[in-house]
Amino acid sequence: MDPAGKARVLLIGSGGVGTMACYALEVGGKASVTAVLRSNYDAVHKDGFSIDSIEHGNGIKGFRPSRILNKVPDATHEEPFEYIIVTTKNIPDVRPNVLDVIGPAVTPGTSTVVLLQNGLNIEKPVVDRFPDNVVLSGVSIISATERTGHVKHEFTDSAKIGPFPSLEAPAEKAKDSARRLVDMYNACGKVDWSIDDNVAFTRYRKLVYNASFNSVSAILHMDVVRMRMTRHVIDDLIRPAMLEIIATAKAAGVKLPDGIDQFMICLDPADEFFLPSMGQDAVKGNFMEVEVIVGEPLREAEQMGVATPTLWTIYGLLRGLQVKTKEAKGQWKPGFGEDNPYA
């Protein structure tokens, strides 16, 4: 708690989603936010963020959270952070990963780690590393993009927050932490965050869309409306991938609504040629969230004996694209390992 009685919050990843989280928390008046910026640090340090928001208004200039840094602070040298909110992409196969990034800032037993990220089983390495800390799931539905300090926010800021099922911290402590965060966030009066009583359901539901549309858009560089217009991309790739996620969820004890595949297929407006985030990353030559969106569901399916042939094909193609990106960024060098049978 800072001297003004506000919760000390560290936010890592101040892109579109992270910046709107900073803004809501600061305007609500119940949190003091330290934001860690990378590529946009110089621009924001000089001029602050400019924001055009469907909820908070257009033409917001010079916004800065309570403190901005260009690297994650060491918690041993300052007051503990009560919440550490992570909004970066979760790419465990690329270093630094989430544990590398948040490690210095976590105060064992004190800091609540909020993973406002996509994917399945993303909490496991954090819980293993920090078993005495609360780890919260955050599944966000928002359209917010940031470029050199300017944020365009085009869709309602809505999120579900709750403790992960595999959490080792006391259940009541975790629930209280989630309720307090939702209260702090909603204090701005413009957003709609709520408590998530079924984290597994929420994450599998979002995977129905992400593991299919996101993945195929990355492979084809095609927007979702054009996929629907072709019909065969939906019939041969998107719907089969969705049905495999639905079957995996059912085997894990998560019953998704009947017809959710058709609902997700037609979710995006037919006049908005929307390229999902993984497709955007592929076009830009950025690393993609291959493992948490496709790899982890596949590993879950394999353990439970669920057949997932479409997802395995998609996964193989995405891993190949990821290797190409690693090579372009100097993180992989072509060469045969000693155990490679194809040398």
Q: What is the pLDDT of residue 3?
A: 62
d(Cα 125, Cα 171) in Å, to the nearest integer?
19
d(Cα 20, Cα 77) in Å, to the nearest integer?
28
243, 235 in Cβ contact below 8 A? no
What domains sit in the chain, N to C, each tagged with a CATH number? 7-197 (3.40.50.720), 200-328 (1.10.1040.10)
b/e for 127-144, b at 16 or more Cβ within 10 A? bebbeebbbbbbbbebeb
d(Cα 28, Cα 6) in Å, to the nearest integer?
10
Q: Which strand ranges, in their side-by-side order, compose the sheet holding 57-63?
A: 57-63, 49-53, 150-153, 144-147
Provide φ and ψ at 11, rounded to 5°: -115, 125
pLDDT digits (tens, 9 = 90+) for 329-339: 999 999 999 99
d(Cα 84, Cα 9) in Å, to the nearest integer?
6
Q: How confident is the model at residue 239 (pLDDT cuts 50, 70, 90)?
A: very high
Q: What is the pLDDT of residue 340?
A: 96
Q: What is the pLDDT of residue 167?
A: 80
Pick 80 or 165 by higher pLDDT.
80
Q: What is the pLDDT of residue 328?
A: 97
Q: What is the pLDDT of residue 1?
A: 64
Mean local confidence (pLDDT), 12-37: 95
Longest dimension (CA), the chain: 64
Mean local confidence (pLDDT), 163-181: 91
Q: What is the pLDDT of residue 311?
A: 98
pLDDT digits (tens, 9 = 90+) for 216-228: 999 999 999 999 9
What the block records as the tokens of 235 is 């019939």
